[in-house]
Amino acid sequence: MKPSVRTPLPGPKAWALLERGERVLSPSYVRPYPFVPARGQGAFLEDVDGNLFLDFMSGIAVNTTGYAHPKVVEAVRAQAERFAHVCFSDFTHEPTLSLAERLVGKLGGGYRVFFGNSGTEGVEAAIKLVRYHTRRPYLLAFTGAFHGRSLGALSLTASKSAYRQGFAPFLPGVVHLPFPNPFRPPLGARPEEAGDAVLDHLEHLFQTVLPPEEVAALFLEPIQGEGGYVVPPPGFIPRLKEVLDRFGILLVADEVQTGAGRTGRFFALEHEGVQADVYVLAKGLASGYPISAVLFREELGSWPPGAHGTTFGGQAVAAAAAHATLDLLEGGLQENAARLGEFLLAELRALKRRFPFLGDVRGRGLMIGLDFGDPDHPQPDLRDKAVRLAFEKGLLLLPAGPSALRIAPPLVLTQEEAALGLEILEEVFRAL
Ligand SMILES: Cc1ncc(COP(=O)(O)O)c(C=O)c1O
């Protein structure tokens, strides 16, 4: 299969739907470009006008197994014929129970699981869990972080002030640290000092305004997602964990975007040799069916029956889709993400040498960020133009952070499809 754009974009049928949307949909929805999907197969999506696109965005890093994978479709159909929902908060049932066992197995045991429907709900549950268990009032998070949009999760989110504007006041007691972005280091640090600078800043806060014994947890994306696909410097996360351990501060790994195999390991934290106290998974876990899982160390499970619950969380069809997704990840997709990620990173670094407006190429597995401009002069307009041009040439991308675009294809991507995407990207960069 090859991308093929045969109509002006948007085509006539897409126009008609977009116009109807203008009349009835919430103005808060974002439309980075006028794409209206009709159906998908593997790593390709067809729009309502019959144009065919190669997908390098996976519905924001969700569609692990691509579109309409027969094993996922079959698992969903089979479970839908039995039952979709009985309410897992009230009644134990398969396949959700065995999904919990399977996820705990990925951490080698010693954890328990709470299921929700979305990443935000997972983060919200994690906030409540760490507060309940520690009875400590403060939470730490990073600028550039995205943890969701409900008021608790939004209190942690700090990737764009537009997400927060108009919604204050937030949860009290949330303190943000600068993220050690090696490309645009905070606190006036040099790139190789970014991690040290942030850890020094944290110690300074502990000595001046923030009693560490009163901090419940730190929320961390092992690679920042919405914030620009930013990988922290090597060794930063293990050293951060040592600081947290000194004060009994829990580490919550928000693996909503990085988890479920996207970086070539099941949890991105595995690359760091660190185990978190709490993990939040969502997005890629069930190939597009809504589910989130909060995995927390057994000893944190002090909340009693009724302390937290949800009607739909752990719904059986989504759990069946998650099982099929895990089968496919274990059957080779996770390895594929690692292998193709290395290939794409190497090729994109070669492109960076030819196109000087590409300031940074970074990532792990199939979670790759391309930053436009240099550290002092981000070029968001050029990035936006690249996303639009790629769309016109049949490649679906998404922006991330102030001036990056993200490459997050489905994990079923083949070597040939990866090469095809690179060809289109090169054409786009030449046109810029
Ligand atoms: C790291 C991270 N956490 C939380 C969320 C929120 O997830 P959801 O949109 O499913 O509520 C996202 C969504 O982009 C995310 O990337």
DSSP letter, residue 381: H
Q: Which token pair is 369?
A: 């960020």
Query: Cβ(254) to ligand 1 under 6 A?
Result: yes
Helix, strand, coil percent values for the chain (each to nearest 5)? 40, 20, 40
Atom of ligand 1 nearest to the CA of 123: 4
Q: Per-residue pLDDT tens for 330-385? A: 999 999 999 999 999 999 999 999 999 999 999 999 999 999 999 999 999 999 99
Torsion of CA 389, 395, 396, 399, to 10 degrees: -50
Evaluate: CB of 255 within 6 angstroms of ligand 1: no
Cα of 12 vs centre of ligand 1, distance in Å, is 33
Residues 202-221: pLDDT tens digits? 999 999 999 999 999 999 99
90, 95, 133: which is closest to 305 by C-alpha?
A: 90
Quick: pLDDT tens for 173-213. 999 999 999 999 999 999 999 999 999 999 999 999 999 99
What pLDDT score does 105 carry?
98
Cβ of 227 below 6 Å from ligand 1: no
> pLDDT digits over 233-263, tens only?
999 999 999 999 999 999 999 999 999 999 9
What phi and psi, each to the nearest 5 degrees, are found at residue 296?
A: -130, 150
Sequence-distant (≥ 6) Cβ neighbours of residue 403 within 8 angstroms: 228, 359, 371, 372, 373, 378, 379, 380, 382, 383
Domains of the chain, earliest start first = 12-68+332-431 (3.90.1150.10), 70-328 (3.40.640.10)
Task: Give the pLDDT of residue 247.
Answer: 98
Cα 414 from chain centroid (whole Å): 21
> Tens digits of per-residue pLDDT, 18-46?
999 999 999 999 999 999 999 999 999 99
Closest CA to 260 of 209, 206, 327: 327
Residue 146's alpha-carbon distances to 32, 123, 331, 398, 412, in angstroms, are 18, 10, 31, 16, 26
Q: What is the CA radius of gyration of the chain?
A: 21
The pLDDT-based confidence of 48 (bands split at 50, 70, 90) is: very high
Ligand 1 centre to CA of 431 (Å) is 33
- pLDDT tens per residue across span 406-420: 999 999 999 999 999
Across residues 124-138, what is the average pLDDT? 98
Chain centroid offset of residue 276 CA: 17
pLDDT of residue 43: 98
| Dmax (CA) of the chain | 62
Distance 279 CA to ligand 1 centre (A): 13
Predicted pLDDT at 140:
98
Q: Which of 283, 287, 289, 292 to mutate to test the pocket of ligand 1 (most atoms within 8 A of CB)?
A: 283
Per the DSSP assignment, residues forming a β-bridge with 142 are 177
Q: Please give the helix or strand (H or E) that residue 42 lies within, else none.
A: none
For a pocket test of ligand 1, which of 30, 146, 229 has the largest count of ligand atoms closer than 8 A to its C-beta? Answer: 146
| Tokens 């997704």 belong to residue | 325
Q: For the chain, first and last CA: distance in Å?
A: 26
Average pLDDT over residues 87-95: 98
| Token pair belonging to 358 | 């590409």
389: confidence class by pLDDT, cuts 50, 70, 90: very high
Q: How many other β-carbons are positioned within 10 Å of the β-carbon of residue 131? A: 19
Instruction: Locate the ligand 1 atom nearest the alpha carbon of residue 280 and give its number.
Output: 3
d(CA 334, CA 305): 36
The alpha carbon of 423 and the centre of ligand 1 are apart by a number of angstroms equal to: 30
Mean pLDDT, to the nearest integer, of 284-313? 98
pLDDT at 257: 98
Cα gap 419→115, rounded to integer Å: 38
Q: In angstroms, what CA-CA distances link 389 with 82, 109, 128, 419?
A: 46, 47, 43, 18
